[in-house]
Structure 1
Amino acid sequence: MRHGVPAAAVLAAALPCHLPAQGADATAVLAPVTITGHYDNAVGTSDAASAGVVRSELLRNRPALRPGEVLEFVPGIIVTQHSGDGKANQYFLRGFNLDHGTDFATFVDGLPVNMPTHAHGHGYTDLNWLIPELVARIRYRKGPYAAEDGDFSSAGSARIDLFDALPRGIASVTLGQDRFARSLVANSARVGAGELLYAIEAAHNDGPWEHPENLRRFNGVLRYSSGSADSRWSLTAMGYSARWNSTDQIPQRAVDAGLVGRYGALDPTDGGRTERASLSFQTLQRSAGGEFRLQAYAIRSKLDLFSNFTYFLERPEGDQFEQAERRTTLGITTSRSWNAQVGGLDMVNTLGLQVRHDRLDPVGLYTSVARRRTGITQESEVEQTSVGIYGESALQWTPWLRSVAGLRADRYHFDVASSIAENSGERSAGIGSPKLSLIFGPWAKTEYFVNVGQGFHSNDARGSTARRMAKSDESVEPATPLVRSKGAELGVRSELVPGLQASLALWQLRLGSELLFVGDAGETEASRPSRRRGVELGLHYRATEWLLLDADLAASRARFTGDEPEGNRIPGSIDKMASLGVTVLDRGPWSGQFQLRYLGPRPLVEDDSKRSKATTLAYLRVGYRFNPKVRLAVDVFNLFDRKASDIDYYYESRLAGESAGVPDRHSHPVEPRRVRVTLTAAF
């Protein structure tokens, strides 16, 4: 076994993305990676059984209904949608209904995707601006065990790295039912001393909805990079715009009474528009003694979202509300690592700094009718600044024992100016998070992991200063700004069977007591401490040179701690998931991929008296290559035309003609079987 070689160096040499974002398991000490499938999860490449790398080949071979489903390539994650496709997806992982991203940190090209103190929900993770063809790899972790990971990462994190240059240009056109159309042109060329990469995407979709979605999405990327593998920099600009109509979840009683069809809407004026632009600079300097990384970024975004989930429960003219924000985000991340020896033992030390400032001017919740603003429920100007400092040391004690010890310190400052005077104010908080990983082996091509760590979850800045509810005018205690999480994991990873990468993880996560700010209501809501535990199994097998088999299975148990009369179940918490894939590569001009995804039933209320049904969906892709430059792909989504739900909720709503609110199951259906055809030409 080769000691003292950072995993980042091996991966950088093996993959065409020359400037990976920070955190490519740079502390790992390993032997050269042998690729056996779609995942770079070989023995020696990570610090936990639940961490790994997804290769770009998987993204090219597996069909995806929406851009956000790129996160489904991370084992254990399920991605759904409960509204228009311009809105952030719903995410499920490790006993969490992560809503729109809270407690799972996501980065694209080093840029943070989670938006704190967001108009719709804290940690909002919108990936609709991602162009999958530009993704070089996805590096994922689960649990709060890495010092580099701070806010939103209690359940895990994913870092999506983009290519600096494409091996050849591509032009593609996709057509499908419901007026679905997508076009993409992407290429890179040598300009001066560097590479210029560009990509332009446009898409439209009406969906199966009775009220057409009329989604219009436009995307652009421009990137210039220069240098060698050991000394490199890049400058990247991205822009995105989308408009859409929403068909939100509807109550079961309305469907049963024939008031609305399965794909109908009770308020056809719901919808939204969003824009996003970013500029980022990255540099990497690597030498025999270590490496230095620096990234600076600026993001400007805005959102106007119109929703109506309760219909006529609060107002006779309808309960539609608008959530809107205008945001500027500035940040810088940097790290320095040193290779060293202590007593003849190899060591890698890393120090890092992460600074982020969000300015919202304004962020608000408003009453509306047919997308016309009629009143202000709560409106705020917010400035939020966070500073994170971390240190980490990886030490190779013996040929069979390695440790990674880390410590992270974070400091937050909130400044809120609210339209409700009592909710204005400033708040500061800090927290420390120790981490430790022990890696044993390999023995018989098998290694073992022990991971423990503390993390944290920030709360919405408005909740941290709120003293009065926006709607009821009742007094409320301010939310705790930073809430601790504690995680532990035992894992094993093996390549004992030729061609098979297998991993098993037993994990537990505790979250402290907190108050949550609910963007839909503009006020805080109590939430008890919780504990989640579970088991995950990943099997990735290259049966032959042309046949790959993938299986990811997970089971979890999520409970509020302490006995309460209403029950201890956590609404929406996933308890079982499965993802099974079969990929056929290059059988002459033919290729194919079959994917089966299972999302288990979930409690909808604390006493478990109302539960969702399980959802099982199958995707199929059949590809044909006319010549080395032209290929055709036919994608079939919901292959067996299952009538299931993407999401289920249980709450009170009121329909027109009802005298009072009625508790009911509210669901958003999966799309019926849909076929899309893509023609791609390389140039």
Structure 2
Amino acid sequence: MHESKPNREARSGDLASVSSHRQWPFNLALQAISLAALSNSAVAQTPTPEVPITQLEPIVVQGNYNNSIGSSDAASQGTVTAKLIENRPTLRPAEVLEFVPGVIVSQHSGDGKANQYYLRGFNLDHGTDFATFVDAMPVNMPTHAHGHGYSDLNWLIPELVDRINYRKGPYYAEEGDFASAGAAHIRLVDTLPKGIGSITFGENGYRRGLLANSGAVGDGQLLYALESGHNDGPWDNPENFRRLNGVLRYSFGDAQTRSVITAMGYSAQWSSTDQIPKRAVDRGLIGRFGALDPTDGGETSRYSLSYDLTHKLDDGSFKFSAYAVQSRLNLFSNFTFFLENPVDLDPTVANGDQFEQAERRKVVGLNTSRSWNTSFEGREVINTLGAQVRHDRLDPVGLYSNVARQRVSTTQESRVRETSVGVYGENATQWLPWLRSVAGLRFDRFAFDVDSSIPQNSGKKNDSIASPKLSLIIGPWSKTEYFANYGYGYHSNDARGATAKVAAKDPTVAVQAVDPLVRSKGGELGLRTELVPGLQSSLALWHLKLDSELLFVGDAGETEPNRASKRYGIEWNNHYVVRPWLLFDLDLAASRARFSEDDPDPTVGNHIPGAVNRVASLGVTVTDLGPWFGQFQLRYFGPRPLIEDNSVRSSATTLAYLRVGYKVGTDVKLALDVFNLFDRKASDIDYYYPSRLQGEPAGGVDDIHFHPVEPRSLRLTLTANF
């Protein structure tokens, strides 16, 4: 699913009332975790499903990866550990997802808004078709004010990430909604070896402070972290981004039964410089870092309480997790400037096209699974049954016309109830010493209930879908393992689009309701080898088809049906330990994305706007070279079609990050991070659509609208462990 600018943004709740409600849910969460910590009920956490494997002597790659032979079901599956995450500089928290080979993370607005994601021929917008989880809590937000599948990770503290388990493709029974292109499961640490106190200063008013530690409390371990930050950015209109973030995490139990209770709270406010038309810069109306509407920006908050249990049994394991999330967003954007609301009769007054996307959301859910280790005619077998339930309650989710963040009218406002139930079964069998299979079947049921301010668009809709999966793992021979994967998946669609009958901006115009669930199917052939000492290398050939490349029109509050699509590509990933202190990473990916159906208008082409076709990443990591450590990261994502006939394309973007660190003492270190090392003038993202500046024709002008990458900037971090 892709979103066409100016059509992709969304906002939540009444701005004036956000701060007054910001604290109470987190206070309740703290009370709940305190009560839970005092009770000694045995509870714990959910690791990746077990799979029978042939035991081999693994290659240990400096603790950075866990991708050895026998550790996965596909060439494109793997794990990144905290060791590598610690060494690489990140401009924004969500860039931890770039540890997933082939993923690119960018931004087209303020730092408080969810990032843009690219993978496998997708412009994933803010998360559609890539599922993200933090400790079994889903990050993607369905029927979101800004965009379906919205994945905001700005509340993540990278220093608390223990590992990232990633999977690509619809081959895994455990993965449901949004996971057609892939999924990332981020696991937080339960304890810290030492406390962390760090402070960062950078250019453009960047400041960040972090205090974190863990220690024994009662029969368990209590971890706490508090983070605050500020950033103005390079923008002519300072961003004034302010964030406050807190984590409390209590873990208890033993090796047999392990439980974790986690409370999180996050709030942020910012002004934003959104994408700007190229012609405005060419004419000298604004600079590359200028804004045409300085009142754009937003405010958001997120509070959560979660519980994870892992219980090991003689014949397998039992896993259970539950979570509750409360979030709010008010987002103010203006992508077309004066196209819909031109200068009034009084030329000194210009309302402009600013709109607000707003939502207040509560989410509750649970995941549970039971696995049995058995045998069949002497063959090792693991059977797993699982269930996942999620309920989202939006009160309300809306789209409003604004002037300087003041509402002047309501385009549409809805109260939405969305419930999903997924059940799955999986069988993993070691047929021969060199042949293993993983077969799964998943069934999902969704129920939508929409109460819209436009009566015709209210209604209820139910839908269900079944998704079979199959993986074959062959080998290893000569330290090389081979994979064949195929599976069916899906993504849900915005509940409002599933019940809509008329256009939100013009109720006299009938619209076609979209399918609540859209089928995807894909396959992959791959291999992973450790034939060269110290080198882990994987190669994957993949393809993926979607029954509909649906389009969310954020500033119209609608979901439009689009054509079916197909994608295929190749990925080559390499992790090489040259010396105990020196690690090389090289990840290359190429893909082709097209609509698989012709448009009724023969002049419209089959290219998918925004689809990335080439991605490359090169990393050089130095650890413990005496007192020195550091990392160099080069990432490239290639030019993209911006219109279906491919007549307008973006340029490629190449960026380099550098970290140079020095250990002053046993527990004190300094690190200098340099972002955009070569000071490239490039775009984080480009769109092509009509907008109107003052004095231009009433129909507007088609143009490239871009959000520039930030210029070279430096950040210095002092970290003390205690």
Q: If the length of structure 1 is used for normalisation, what is the TM-score?
A: 0.96
1:527 is displaced (CA, Å) by 1.0
Tell whether 2:427 aligns with 1:393.
Answer: yes
1:525 is displaced (CA, Å) by 1.8
How many residues were matched structurally?
666
Tell whether 2:371 aligns with 1:315.
Answer: no
CA contact (8 A) 2:619 2:634 kept: yes
Matched residue type, 2:524? E
Tell me the secondary structure at the aligned position of residue 255 of structure 1: helix
Query: 2: distance between equivalents of 1:148 and 1:188?
Result: 32
Query: 2: distance between equivalents of 1:313 and 1:128?
Result: 32
CA contact (8 A) 1:19 1:164 kept: no
Tell me the secondary structure at the aligned position of residue 266 of structure 1: coil
Query: 2: distance between equivalents of 1:515 and 1:147?
Result: 24
Tell whether 2:206 aligns with 1:180.
Answer: yes
Query: 1: distance between equivalents of 2:468 and 2:559?
Result: 29
1:159 is displaced (CA, Å) by 0.1
**What is aligned with 1:670?**
709
1:282 is displaced (CA, Å) by 1.1
Tell whether 2:453 aligns with 1:419.
Answer: yes
CA contact (8 A) 2:243 2:266 kept: yes
**What is aligned with 1:125?**
151
Tell me the secondary structure at the aligned position of residue 561 of structure 2: strand
**What is aligned with 2:607?**
569
**What is aligned with 1:595?**
633
Query: 2: distance between equivalents of 1:214 and 1:312?
Result: 26
Tell me the secondary structure at the aligned position of residue 579 of structure 2: coil
CA contact (8 A) 1:402 1:438 kept: yes
Tell whether 2:260 aligns with 1:215.
Answer: no
Identify if the C-alpha distance between structure 1 residues 515 and 584 changes in structure 2 by more than 3 Å, giving closer, same or farther: closer
**What is aligned with 2:35?**
none
**What is aligned with 1:29?**
53
**What is aligned with 1:533?**
568
Percent of pairs with identical residues: 67
Query: 1: distance between equivalents of 2:43 and 2:232?
Result: 38
CA contact (8 A) 1:479 1:516 kept: no
CA contact (8 A) 2:622 2:630 kept: yes
1:82 is displaced (CA, Å) by 0.2
1:21 is displaced (CA, Å) by 5.4
Q: Output one character per residue of 1:69-111: Cα deviation in whole Å (capped at 9) or x when no partner.
A: 0101110000000000000000000000000000000000111
**What is aligned with 1:204?**
230
Q: Output one character per residue of 1:444-466: Cα deviation in whole Å (capped at 9) or x when no partner.
A: 00000000000001000000000
CA contact (8 A) 1:476 1:524 kept: no
Tell me the secondary structure at the aligned position of residue 442 of structure 2: strand
Identify if the C-alpha distance between structure 1 residues 28 and 137 changes in structure 2 by more than 3 Å, giving closer, same or farther: farther
1:484 is displaced (CA, Å) by 0.4
1:368 is displaced (CA, Å) by 0.3
1:288 is displaced (CA, Å) by 2.8
Equivalent positions of 1:386-535 (< 5 A) are: 386-473=420-507, 474-513=509-548, 515-535=550-570
Tell me the secondary structure at the aligned position of residue 512 of structure 2: coil
1:590 is displaced (CA, Å) by 0.7
CA contact (8 A) 1:460 1:516 kept: no
Equivalent positions of 1:224-303 (< 5 A) are: 224-303=250-329
Tell me the secondary structure at the aligned position of residue 661 of structure 2: strand
Query: 1: distance between equivalents of 2:645 and 2:81?
Result: 42
Matched residue type, 1:366? Y
Query: 2: distance between equivalents of 1:280 and 1:515?
Result: 32
Equivalent positions of 1:327-338 (< 5 A) are: 327-338=361-372
1:239 is displaced (CA, Å) by 0.2
Tell whether 2:684 aligns with 1:659.
Answer: no
1:545 is displaced (CA, Å) by 0.7
CA contact (8 A) 2:330 2:356 kept: yes
**What is aligned with 2:115?**
89
Which of 657, 671, 680 is the aligned partner of 1:633?
A: 671
Identify if the C-alpha distance between structure 1 residues 603 and 168 changes in structure 2 by more than 3 Å, giving closer, same or farther: same
Runs of 5+ unmatched residues, structure 1: 1-17
Query: 2: distance between equivalents of 1:584 and 1:513?
Result: 45
Equivalent positions of 1:4-19 (< 5 A) are: none
Tell me the secondary structure at the aligned position of residue 543 of structure 1: strand
Tell me the secondary structure at the aligned position of residue 527 of structure 1: coil
**What is aligned with 1:8?**
none
Matched residue type, 2:116? Q
Tell me the secondary structure at the aligned position of residue 41 of structure 1: coil
CA contact (8 A) 2:43 2:257 kept: no
Query: 2: distance between equivalents of 1:259 and 1:658?
Result: 13
Which of 672, 680, 683 is the aligned partner of 1:645?
A: 683
Matched residue type, 2:246? G
Identify if the C-alpha distance between structure 1 residues 157 and 30 changes in structure 2 by more than 3 Å, giving closer, same or farther: farther
Tell me the secondary structure at the aligned position of residue 279 of structure 2: helix
**What is aligned with 1:3?**
none
1:287 is displaced (CA, Å) by 2.4
Identify if the C-alpha distance between structure 1 residues 47 and 25 changes in structure 2 by more than 3 Å, giving closer, same or farther: farther
Query: 2: distance between equivalents of 1:620 and 1:592?
Result: 8
Which of 161, 180, 189 is the aligned partner of 1:135?
A: 161
Query: 1: distance between equivalents of 2:388 and 2:58?
Result: 30
Identify if the C-alpha distance between structure 1 residues 30 and 323 changes in structure 2 by more than 3 Å, giving closer, same or farther: farther
Query: 2: distance between equivalents of 1:582 and 1:501?
Result: 15
Tell whether 2:408 aligns with 1:374.
Answer: yes
Query: 2: distance between equivalents of 1:180 and 1:373?
Result: 31
Q: Output one character per residue of 1:137-158: Cα deviation in whole Å (capped at 9) or x when no partner.
A: 0000000000000000000000
Matched residue type, 1:423? N
Tell me the secondary structure at the aligned position of residue 70 of structure 1: helix
CA contact (8 A) 2:547 2:565 kept: yes
**What is aligned with 1:339?**
373
Query: 1: distance between equivalents of 2:129 and 2:653?
Result: 23
1:229 is displaced (CA, Å) by 2.5
Which of 583, 586, 593 is the aligned partner of 1:548?
A: 583
1:268 is displaced (CA, Å) by 0.3
Aligned-pair RMSD on alpha carbons? Answer: 1.2
Query: 2: distance between equivalents of 1:441 and 1:610?
Result: 46
**What is aligned with 1:14?**
none
Query: 1: distance between equivalents of 2:233 and 2:315?
Result: 54
Q: If the length of structure 2 is used for normalisation, what is the TM-score?
A: 0.91
Matched residue type, 1:480? D
CA contact (8 A) 2:44 2:257 kept: no
Tell whether 2:704 aligns with 1:680.
Answer: no
Equivalent positions of 1:143-158 (< 5 A) are: 143-158=169-184
CA contact (8 A) 2:121 2:593 kept: yes
